Each structure stands twice: as structure tokens, then as C-alpha cells.
Amino acid sequence: MIALEDRHLAELASLLKEKVGLHVRPDSYHALRMAIRARIEERGEAAQGTIDAYLARLREDASGDELRALLPLVTVGKTNFFRDSRQFAALEALVPDLLQRRRKGGAPIAIWSAGCATGEEPYSIAMTAAEHGVLAEEIDLAATDLNPQAVAASSEGRYTARRVQEMEPGRIERFFQPDGSGYKVRPELRRMVGRIQPQNLNAPVYPRPQTGSWDIIFCRNVIIYFDTATARQVLSRFHAVLAPGGFLFLGYSESLFRLFDGFQLTEIAGAFVYRKPAKPLTPAVPRAPEPAPFYTPSAPVQHLSAPRAKPAAGPAPQPERSPQEILDASVTLVETGKFEAAVEQLERLVAQGGEDLAARLTLANLYGVLRQPERARESYQAALALEPLSAEAHLFFGIHLLGVGELDGAANELGRALYLDPDLALGHYYLGRCRERQRDPARARICYRNAVDAYRREPKGRRQSFLAYYPDVPEDGAAIARAAEYALAAL
């Protein structure tokens, strides 16, 4: 085992803060410990115990490649039991039909928690199933993660008292047993999570249940760390291993909008989840309200290719609108010049306490457009508190700071965005503008060249689709590359 001292973790925490703006508090150092061990083992350096050398390399690596490889592992600490209770209400709504299918001689309920972190998610799924009378042999529940240390922790099922006490006492008593100063999952609950194993979602082969395809895949708060090309590959593999009519649960702030259109957005018990159509979608049939094999949603199914900027219906009042629908309605309001009304809607959405990154970023941008820089700053900061590793949030915060003349802050934020995603042509371009205003033409020139190169690497402008809506920022990759070329010529 690698000897990791607190000073190593403090050094890594300070590096993460400096390079990508991630603030890791000392009480979350266990996540850093797990990440660094997993990464060093992955690199085959465990025997050398060269933690100081590794940290030095991390600091000196100008490309940022090593830090980027470490980042997904660092996110392992961001999880908790029954995270997003609405999604667990949706799961509760699905379980009875799946159980009935099984008890009529059909396949066991097949659920995969992909990116399970330290196990809170799969055990929450298992508890939900058990509360509906599902027995261990009636469910094929798998949990996987990239980080082998997280997988080992999931398998062990040992948690601090603080973590467990977020749940109702009845649940703790039924599913956990005291273990030193914390708790351990009871063997019956552990048995319900059959497979717990390492799995890189970037690998081409995905696990399958005994019966061939999953009824439900949970992959929450994972794809947000992938670039668009990787996210698309991952989503198409999920699509392949999901049963027709099966469900994909993504994180609250993750959207497939303009990313992947093989799924339909469906409301179940107040949560919005993605569903693989029971029959393949064809371009001639934009809506496919096929009968579900085991569950028929009460809400109308919405086809994902309906563009966010132009929702089919206007912002007509509806009893319960999804965050996405509220965002769509706000975008329509902005497009018709009703900025204040859009802000009002988004403020209400954010006040509901949702972890909605897209809403916070859209709101931040609108405050900027409305010349309310302090509100914009607060809103960007709130977005970054939600997702500290969102390149998009750093990028647009940087653009905002540049707009209000805070050049050093802008350079920091734009640098962080580019550290997280070096292919952001928009980030290179704005950093170039920032360097020009800092009277540093040599660095400005490099940034503009990087913008053109980033565009050439991805001529189709893969970053045209941001999570949020920015009416004042050009999203067209070709236009950004052209602007960078003009700027270069003028320097």
C-alpha cells in the first residue's frame, strides 16, 4: 500500500484548486486518497511508492494530461444515499411491474449502477427493491466504477455514521448494522448487489445481465466529466445493452439534448428519465408512443430531437413542468426579448433547490446580459459549487469576468476551463482576447493559434452544444476560428 501522508493530500488539494478551481476540504481528503492510489496503481507505480515524484510530475506536466486522468477518480466522493429522491420515487414506480414480470416466470429485474462510486447508489437501489418485497434472487443488480478503490469500498459496504444518518432511522435499522464508530450494510442487503466490479465506461465491452439486457441503467453524474465524443459513445453502448423500453437514469444536471437522440424523455412519478423506445425510432415518426413492455408512463412521451430553443408548445402553464421544460420556456422568452420574464422563471427554478447546472448557467449569463454583474458572479459561483469540474462553467465565468474587466480572474477561469477541456476553441479565443487586454501580444498570439487548431481538430464544432443557453456568445466553431484568424492578422 502506498504511504500517503496528509501533506501529500494537502499538496494535491492545492494543485486541484490552482489548476481547475476544485476546492477539496480536508474532511473530504478520503476521496483524494482513493483517487491517487487508484491512479498510481493504474500507472503501475505502486511498488515504487513514489508519491512525491508523482506529485512533482503532476505539477510540472504542462499538457495537463495526467491531472485530467486523475479528475474522474477525484469525483468519487461526490455521492450519497438516495441522491435525488425524485429518481428513487421513479424507481419505486417501476419496481412492482418488473417484479410481477419476474414472478410470472420472466427474467429477474436487471439494474446496473454504472459509476457507482463508493456504493451508496447501488445500495439505495437495493433498499428500494427490498422495500417492495424483491428478494435477492429476483434481482440482477450490478455496480461498477472506474476506480478500483471505490469498487472495493462498495463491496465492503462500510460507511461513516454521518453518511448513513442522512437516511430515515427505520432504514438504518433494517439495512445496516453498527460497525465501530460507523455502520456496515447487513449481509442480506449486500447479497442483493450481486456484482460489484471495476469497469471503465470508455472500454468497448459493457457488462450484461444474465438475460442479455438491462431494464434500468443508473449512470448519474458521470457523463458530465466526459467530452462530447466520449459521452456519445458511452450513450450508444448504454442504448445497445438496454432492453427495449428500458430506462436510463442520468444525473439531475445531465441532459441528452443535442447529444444523443436514441432515447425519449419520459416522466415517471415526477422524475424525468430517459427511455429506450420499445421499437426503434425512425425519422418519419418523430414521436413514438409505443406501449411499454412493463411500464406505461402516464405523462406524454417527448421526443428528444425537439430543439430546446424552439419547444413545440409555448410556455403555457402546466401543473408540473420539468426543469428542462422551464429552461425551454425561458429560452423562448429570451428569444422574444422577454429577458426579465426569463430570469424570473429561472430564479424560481433555482430557488426550488434543484441541482440544475444548465439553469444556473443560463441565469448567470442572463444577469450578465442585463448588466447585473454581481448577480452574474454569484450565479456562476453557485454553478461552480455544484459542479466544480464543469469546463463550461469555468469558460463562461471567465468570459463574464473578461466582460467586466477583471482580467486576472478571467485568465484564471479561462485557464481552468482549458485545463479541463483543451479542445474548447471558444476558451482559447477569449483567453487570447484577455491576453491582448493584458498587453501580452505574444501569449495572445499563442491562444489565437490554439483556437484555430482546436477548431481544425474538430471542424464540425463538437462544442457547439453547451448545457446552458448563451444568446450573446457565438457557438459556431467556424466563426470562432475566423475571429481568431482576424485577431492574429491584426496583432
Ligand X SMILES: C[S@@+](CC[C@H](N)C(=O)[O-])C[C@H]1O[C@@H](n2cnc3c(N)ncnc32)[C@H](O)[C@@H]1O
Residues of this chain that interact with ligand X (CB under 6 A) are 72-73, 75-76, 78-79, 83, 115, 117, 121, 145-147, 150, 199-202, 220-222, 225, 251
- Residue placing its CB nearer to ligand X in the complex, 74 or 364: 74
Of 65 and 340, the one with the shorter C-beta distance to ligand X is 65
Residue among 199 and 264 whose Cβ is closer to ligand X: 199
CB of 237 to ligand X, least distance (A): 11
DSSP state of 343: H
Q: At what angle do helices 477-490 and 441-457 cross, to 10 degrees?
A: 150
Q: What is the DSSP letter of 327?
A: H
The distance of closest approach from Cβ of residue 305 to ligand X in the complex, given in angstroms and rounded to an integer, is: 26
Angle in degrees, CA 18, 34, 226, rounded to 5: 65
Report in angstroms how near the CB of residue 78 gets to ligand X at its nearest: 4
* Cα–Cα dist 62/390, whole Å: 20
Q: Evaluate whether 471 touches 334 at the Cβ level (below 8 Å).
A: yes
Nearer to ligand X, 253 or 330 (CB): 253
Nearer to ligand X by C-beta: 311 or 388?
388
Kindly tell me which of 198 and 293 has the beta carbon lying closer to ligand X: 198
CB of 24 within 8 A of CB of 13? yes
Helix (H, G, I), strand (E, B) or coil at 269: coil
CB of 253 to ligand X, least distance (A): 11
What is the C-alpha separation between 483 and 47, in angstroms, rounded?
Answer: 50
Alpha helices in 278-404 (DSSP H): 323-335, 339-351, 357-369, 373-386, 391-403
Quote the DSSP letter at residue 167.
Answer: S
Which 3 state secondary structure label does DSSP give 118?
A: coil
Geometric angle at alpha carbon 24, from 376 and 168, rounded to 5°: 90
| CA–CA distances in Å: residue 133 to residues 82, 85, 103, 175, 242 | 18, 20, 12, 14, 24
In the complex, least distance from residue 373 CB atom to ligand X, rounded to whole angstroms:
31
Nearest approach, Cβ of 479 to ligand X (angstroms)?
Answer: 32
Closest separation in Å from C-beta 234 to ligand X: 8
Residue 129 vs 484, nearer CB to ligand X: 129
